[in-house]
Amino acid sequence: MEINIELLLNLPNLSVLDCSISDKEAHIYCENTSSTCVCPSCLRPSSSVRMYQERTVRDMALLGRKVYLHLRVRQFFCQDCNRYFNESFSFVEASKTMTTRYEEYLYFLSDNLCINQVSIKEDVVWLSVNNIYKHYSDKQIEKRKVWQEVRYLGIDEISVKKGKKNYACVLVDLERGLILDFLENRQKETLIAYFKEKGEDFCNQIEVVSCDMWDAYSTLATDLFPKAETVIDRYHFFVHLNKALDATRKNLRKACPEQEAFKHIRWSLLKSPEKLSEDEKKALKVAFEVSPALQEVYELRTELKTVFDTDMSKAAATEKVEEWQEKAKKLENVPIGKFLKTLNNWKDKVLNFFHKRHTNAVVEGLNNGIRGIIRRSFGFHSFDNLRRRVLVEFG
């Protein structure tokens, strides 16, 4: 049975002249089927061939063999323009050493493997795979039309190197739950330069900026987005209250190191009460019997959470929170005292939550996605590539 290689190749206007196949490689010699070629300057067809050259390009593997196409490239002469030109092929761009479909395949592989793995798997030099990844992902990122409709902007950070205080900044469209951009650091100057470049119209369209209690974010929001209201993200705010609760537990552990009731209750304390198992509930009950003060702080957190879970006006919420503050003050608990100070500093922006009830909750999910990408790529070669991966997947 004769094998029809042309049918297998499935490339337009290509006829196969010869073929040599070894264990690992297939070399396919081919040429264009049309007798004429259009001159690139006058667009008239020419049939006057002056010279032949060979051009080798890599193509998709065939039954485990690397495939090289040896293209017979004709040089034509255009009598009208009095110039020479080489014919081109629709399936491979000028000056490229791979067919477009093979480049696209490598890009497809790079989606789930790191550049290094693709390079080894396909036996293509790392730099080529990296350039292909850059080229195709940038094209995909540029195509996105994500900026026009942003109204609620979330600014958050994520630690990109384990154990190091190396924070990258995540910009999120909170309404649509997508990552707008991913910046290498969260410094104020970086963010100012970034949004200045986005332009005045963009800055004016922002209605809400949600961020955590980091000075740079909050002053930035007032400086850059004149029409926006700054909201301290509820999630981050409660992280501080959880810290106070945990510090109370730690102090008890220090004061009574032998007390069994205070051991192994950290996660049960920090968990939402409705998510506790029966055993966890029991452990907490025992701890609370030994230390009613711990129970008071625990209940205080639940009370504040209930305020935030209830739909009410900012004025009504302010009243509730102030009542809560009075009650909290009376505990004379040092960690809670610290929390109250933070709350006082940020109160207005914390309470803005009751206007639009927007949270960065969606950002937590996206941040987990970013952590997944970092894990999958076993770290990352450059921040730019990490950014590309993040935007292609979550942008």
Which stretch, 34-42, 107-115, 226-234, 320-328, contacts Zn ion (CB under 5 A)? 34-42
- Phi-psi category of residue 85: left, alpha or beta, with phi > 0 → left and psi -120 to 50 → alpha: beta
Which stretch, 23-31, 62-70, 75-83, 161-169, contacts Zn ion (CB under 5 A)? 75-83
Which stretch, 76-84, 99-107, 134-142, 371-379, contacts Zn ion (CB under 5 A)? 76-84
Name beta bridge partners: 210: 154, 231
With a CB cutoff of 8 Å and minimum separation 6, the contacts of 92 are 57, 71, 98, 99, 100
Name beta bridge partners: 381: none
What is the DSSP annotation of 315-380? Answer: HHHHHHHHHHHHHHHHT--HHHHHHHHHHHHHHHHHHTHHHH---SHHHHHHHHHHHHHHHHTTS-
Q: Which of 80, 111 has the CB closer to Zn ion?
A: 80
Cα separation, 171 vs 153, in Å, equals: 7
**Is position 81 an interface residue for Zn ion (rule: CB under 5 A)?**
yes
Q: Is residue 8 within 8 Å of residue 19, measured between CB atoms?
A: no
**Is position 42 an interface residue for Zn ion (rule: CB under 5 A)?**
yes
CB of 77 to Zn ion, least distance (A): 9
Kindly identify the residues of this chain, within the stretch 224-253, that bind Zn ion according to CB under 5 A. none
**Is position 38 an interface residue for Zn ion (rule: CB under 5 A)?**
no
CB of 46 to Zn ion, least distance (A): 7
Which stretch, 71-79, 86-94, 102-110, 227-235, contacts Zn ion (CB under 5 A)? 71-79
What is the DSSP annotation of 131-144? Answer: HHHHHHHHHHHHH-
Supply 45's token pair: 């067809």
**Is position 290 an interface residue for Zn ion (rule: CB under 5 A)?**
no
Which residue is associated with the tokens 């793995």? Answer: 117
Supply 210's token pair: 């949600």
CB of 94 to Zn ion, least distance (A): 17
CB of 84 to Zn ion, least distance (A): 10
**Is position 37 an interface residue for Zn ion (rule: CB under 5 A)?**
no
CB of 36 to Zn ion, least distance (A): 12
Q: Which of 37, 160 has the CB closer to Zn ion?
A: 37
Q: Which of 78, 269 has the CB closer to Zn ion?
A: 78
Q: Which of 48, 204 has the CB closer to Zn ion?
A: 48
**Is position 340 an interface residue for Zn ion (rule: CB under 5 A)?**
no
Name beta bridge partners: 20: 27
Q: Which of 11, 57, 69, 78 binds Zn ion (CB under 5 A)?
A: 78
Cα separation, 256 vs 287, in Å, equals: 12
Count of residues engaged in binding Zn ion, rule: CB under 5 A: 6
CB of 13 to Zn ion, least distance (A): 21
**Is position 39 an interface residue for Zn ion (rule: CB under 5 A)?**
yes
Q: In terms of Cα–Cα distance, which of 20, 36, 13 is closest to 87? A: 36
Which stretch, 73-81, 180-188, 311-319, 357-365, contacts Zn ion (CB under 5 A)? 73-81
Q: Which residues bind Zn ion (CB under 5 A)?
A: 39, 41-42, 78, 80-81
